[in-house]
Structure 1
Amino acid sequence: MPPRPRGAPPASFDAVTRPPWTDGRTQPASAVAEQFLGMICGQLLWPQLVRTDFVPPDPTDTTVVDEAVALMRTRYRARS
């Protein structure tokens, strides 16, 4: 894949690079998607399956998803 012009967004989700504190390789989109869904399921799905006292949040409360998106954007931000 040719290098992106400085400041240009990634061409696809596959082109998102790892943070500078790792080895610099790209992360496959399937692995990134699995991490993203894992964060959401860890907060909303699994507690419903294993805890009898779990009360799910209001369906209009987007906090869990918003936080997962913010974390993923920080973790996989494009290098400039």
Structure 2
Amino acid sequence: MTADQLRSLIAAGLACEHLHVQGDGRHWYATIVSTAFSGKRPIQRHQMVYATLGEKIRNDEVHALSMKTLTPDEWVAQGRPQH
């Protein structure tokens, strides 16, 4: 799996205002900004992302995924540019 493939899987299942994925092919880190995260606790946000990966996460094609999941307002509050 490549970063582009992982990014595409997440983007196909979750509308993202910002999505950055990096990693070494097994261990990944993603920053995901989505309005869909509004009102959700961190565990709920992570579950939403895992749902986009389906069997890829269960079959260990994506071994480890660390994530920062933010709403657009949280993203801007951290000093990030608006899109």
State the TM-score, normalizing by the size of structure 2.
0.30
Tell me: higher relative CO, structure 1 or 2? Use CA pairs within 8 A at least 6 residues apart: 1
Which structure has the highest strand share of the two?
Answer: 2
Which one has the largest radius of gyration? 1
